[in-house]
Structure formats: structure tokens, C-alpha cells
Amino acid sequence: MKKLIIAVSFVISFYSYAKSSSPIGVFDSGIGGMTVLEKMLTIDNFDNVTFERKSDGRPDFEGESFIYFGDQANMPYGDYAAHGKSEYLKRLIVADAEFLLSKEAKSLVIACNTATAWGLTLVRERSAKDDVETTGVIEAGVRSALTEPTAVNASGGFTIGVMATPGTIASSAYERTVKEQTKKMGVTGKVLVFSQGCAGLADAVEAGLVDAEKIAVENFRALKAKADAAKEPLRVVILGCTHYPFVLDALQNEAPNVKFVDPSLATAEECYLSLKNKGLLSKNKKSSLKVFISVPRKDLDKKFLDENGSLTRECKYGRDINDKTLWTEVKPYTSVDAAKNNFISRALPAVSKMLKGENK
Ligand code: DGL
């Protein structure tokens, strides 16, 4: 009997060690989710030995392996809703999760607001079957924004601005979440959410265009005009797309007194706490990162491709839920093109180091 107990506890501890060494799966439609990954690689809000909430000079995710997937071939995700293709988008989002689960991910992070807005429930249902928890970015972003003292308005309620993809805004996910959270907090004052769907901004960031900053500022001005028209001072704006922290400097320059909230910090904390509660934080010493992207399938008819070799917009947004064609394939992201590399290393030094294999 004693031997059996020893054998069973040996198997259990071996299983939990193996599971804690599995990777954390992070996904987005492109490089935007790397802004969340950067926070996960650098955050130090907890003591790694006692798990108390206090910095100890060691990254909280020390020793973790990460698998990042960017569904570049199908992006921008933010445009599917406007084409009436939200059901197809949901299928893409679940496929992203399936890919990471097939790589034995122990936890999933949807590092994309649009995918969180349209697919969080579905991905949670799917990952629960593998006993894997999923963290999204929207609740985390709202919780952070509501801790900002300047978000409190004259009536004792909250005034929050949201810049996001047209698809995220169309889902009303931010508005709904702000209303839910403030209700839970027992807020009785006015709760105002001003939203701006920033068409073209995520794709401009993805392409590394200087135009991205211009588009960001124009959209911020349009958002501010909505608050001005309602005579409400706008002091807190959520960057509701993971591509937007890349243009934070331009936005901050335009509006130095506005607090732009990046949900990635709270998202990283949420994922950390979920792993801690399940006893799944890695016991390893060295972190690692593997990046995968989707590309159009090599044997695809050229008529579906544009001059850059990407799926044409007609093709992307013409597909519907019954479409059985396999349009894309996944490949490891071995080398980053020079323009994107510059862009990433400027804004995301920790990710950039890992991409270059300098994670010693
Ligand atoms: N990064 C994604 C987000 O946070 C969206 C980009 C896209 O439209 O694909 O919403």
C-alpha cells in the first residue's frame, strides 16, 4: 500500500512538473500581441519565492517558455465585422487557440482585443476541455482604467475613452465591460464611454508605416471631439488594440494630460495569478520564445494574392463560415524583415532580445 502511495505521488509530481514546463501560448492577428508579450517578459510585481505582491528584482515569468502565434495572413481582424463576417472571424480565433493547444500550451493569452471581443467565450470553452485557462485583454484594460483617479467624473461616475479596431467597437465589448464593472463597484454616478473605431490603424502599424502615427492622432482627435461635444473632459483613454502601444509616443505628444491605458500589464498579472493558483508557474531557469505566423498557402492560385503576396481583401472578407478551403499555413517566424525588426527592437527590447536568441 505504502509503495502504491509513493508511486502515485511520484506520477503526480512528475505530471505537474511536466505541465509547469509547458509553454504559455499567446496569440494576436499580427505583431500587436508582442506588446503584451513584452510586459509578460519584463513584469516584476510579485516575489518569485513567496508569491507576495512585491517586486523582487526578478521577472515574474522567469524561466517560462512562450509560444507566440500571429495570424498575419488573415489580419486585420478588426475589419471582419464590417463585412458581416464575424462568424468566420470566430472560426479563425478558435483555430489560433487550437494551434497553441496542439503545442501543449498550459495557459492561453488572447493578446488581441478584437479576438477577445468576438472569441473569448469560445476559446475559454475550448481550452477548458484541456484544463487550460484563457486570459483576454478587455476586462484587464477596463479594470486598469477604472483605477485611474482622473477617470472619475464630476458626478462621481466614470468617463472613459476607448480607441480600438472598428470590429472591437462594433462588438460593444468595452462599453459592456465598463458598465458591468462599474455596476459591481456600486457606482451611482454617470458612466460614460466614448469610443473610436480606428480604421486602418492596426494594419498601418503592422506595415511599420510612419503614417500610423498620423492615423492614430487623427483618431484621437475624433474621439476627443465626441467628448467635447458632450462637454465631458476626457482624461483616460484605453488603447483597446494591442497594436496601438506602438504609437503611444505620438498620442502622448498630442495629449500630454491624457492617461493612455495599455491593458497589457493587467493582462500579464492576470495570467501570472492564474498559473500561480494552479501551481503551474515554471520551475525552470531559462525562458524561451518560439514565434509562428500564418502565411497564404504556397499552392494558392495567384488570383487570390495581392502585389505583396498577401491574401487580397476581396478574398479575406469574402469568405464565410461554410468555406472549407484551406487558405493559409503556419510557419516558424525565423527572420523578421529589417523594417519590422527596427520597429520591434525600438518599442519591445525584451521581445527583440528573445527573437535574436539572446535570452541567456
Ligand atoms: N491587435 C488586434 C487588437 O488588439 C487587432 C488588429 C487587427 O485588426 O487585426 O484588436
Q: Is the confidence at residue 10, as pLDDT, over 80?
A: no
Query: Exposure string (b/e) for 90-108, b if CB count within 10 Å is 16 or more?
Result: bbbbbbbbebbbeebbbbb
Backbone angles phi, psi at 223, to 5 degrees: -65, -45
Quick one: how far is CA 280 from the chain centroid? 21
Atom of ligand 1 nearest to the CA of 137: 4
Sheet holding 236-240, edge to edge: 191-197, 158-164, 236-240, 259-261
Q: Is the confidence at residue 157, as pLDDT, over 70?
A: yes
Q: Find the 76 Cα to ligand 1 centroid distance in Å.
A: 6
Cell reading at 201 = 490603424
Note whether 215 and 198 are within 8 A (CB).
Answer: yes
Residue with cell 527596427: 342
List the one residue out of 299, 247, 238 whose CA is nearest residue 116.
Answer: 238
Cell reading at 339 = 523594417
User: What number is the average pLDDT over the span 179-197?
Assistant: 96
Q: pLDDT band for position 320 (50/70/90)?
A: confident
pTM for the predicted model, two decimal places? 0.93
Tell me the CB-side half-sphere exposure of residue 252, using CA atoms within 13 A.
10
pLDDT tens digits along 102-113? 999 999 999 999
Q: Is the confidence at residue 2, as pLDDT, over 80?
A: no
Helix (H, G, I), strand (E, B), or coil: what is residue 318?
A: helix
**The predicted structure's pLDDT at residue 143:** 96
**The predicted structure's pLDDT at residue 13:** 62
User: What number is the average pLDDT over the span 138-158?
Assistant: 96
Q: pLDDT band for position 360 (50/70/90)?
A: very low
List the Cα angle 179/182/188 in 5-degree steps.
105
**The predicted structure's pLDDT at residue 345:** 81
- How far is the C-alpha of 244 from the C-alpha of 212, rounded, in Å? 9
Q: Is the confidence at residue 358, as pLDDT, over 80?
A: no
**The predicted structure's pLDDT at residue 208:** 79
Cell reading at 290 = 518560439
Q: Find the 163 Cα to ligand 1 centroid distance in Å.
A: 11
Quick one: how far is CA 193 from the chain centroid? 21
When the pLDDT of each residue in the chain is averaged and rounded to a whole number, the result is 92
Residue with cell 498550459: 106
Is the minimum distance from the CB of 32 to ligand 1 under 6 angstroms? Answer: yes
Burial bucket for residue 141 (CB in 10 Å: 0-12, 13-18, 19+):
buried
Helix (H, G, I), strand (E, B), or coil: what is residue 6?
A: helix
Q: pLDDT band for position 56 (50/70/90)?
A: very high
Atom of ligand 1 nearest to the CA of 243: 1
CB atoms within 10 A of CB 15: 10
List the Cα angle 124/77/314 in 5-degree steps.
135
Q: Where are the beta strands (DSSP E) in 255-327?
A: 259-261, 288-296
User: What number is the average pLDDT over the span 29-48?
Assistant: 95
DSSP code for 74: G
**The predicted structure's pLDDT at residue 84:** 96
Instruction: Return all residues near 335 (Cβ < 8 A) that are at least 6 apart.
Output: none
CA distances for 206 relative to 251, 294, 340, angstroms: 17, 14, 8
**The predicted structure's pLDDT at residue 261:** 98
User: What number is the average pLDDT over the span 37-60?
Assistant: 96
22-136+266-355: CATH topology: Rossmann fold (3.40.50)
Evaluate whether 22-136+266-355 and 140-263 have a shared fold: yes
Helix (H, G, I), strand (E, B), or coil: what is residue 238?
A: strand
Q: Which amino acid is at 268?
A: A
Is the minimum distance from the CB of 119 to ligand 1 under 6 angstroms? Answer: no
Domain extent listing, the chain: 22-136+266-355, 140-263
pLDDT tens digits along 66-82? 999 999 999 999 999 99
Choosing among 3.40.50.2030, 3.60.15.10, 3.40.50.1860, 3.40.980.10, the CATH entry for 140-263 is 3.40.50.1860
Atom of ligand 1 nearest to the CA of 77: 9
Quick one: how far is CA 152 from the chain centroid? 26
**The predicted structure's pLDDT at residue 337:** 61
pLDDT tens digits along 247-264? 999 999 999 999 999 999
- How far is the C-alpha of 246 from the C-alpha of 249, rounded, in Å? 8
Best probe residue, ligand 1, of 171, 206, 241 (max atoms within 8 Å of C-beta): 241
Q: Find the 30 Cα to ligand 1 centroid distance in Å.
A: 7
pLDDT tens digits along 208-218? 777 999 999 99
Q: Is the confidence at residue 309, as pLDDT, over 60?
A: yes
Is the minimum distance from the CB of 316 to ligand 1 under 6 angstroms? Answer: no
pLDDT tens digits along 327-356? 999 999 875 566 666 778 888 999 988 888
Cell reading at 154 = 464630476
Atom of ligand 1 nearest to the CA of 75: 9
List the Cα angle 30/36/38 in 5-degree steps.
105
- How far is the C-alpha of 99 from the C-alpha of 24, rounded, in Å? 12
Residue with cell 478558435: 94
Is the minimum distance from the CB of 70 to ligand 1 under 6 angstroms? Answer: no
Helix (H, G, I), strand (E, B), or coil: what is residue 260?
A: strand
- How far is the C-alpha of 126 from the C-alpha of 206, rounded, in Å? 28
Residue with cell 463576417: 85
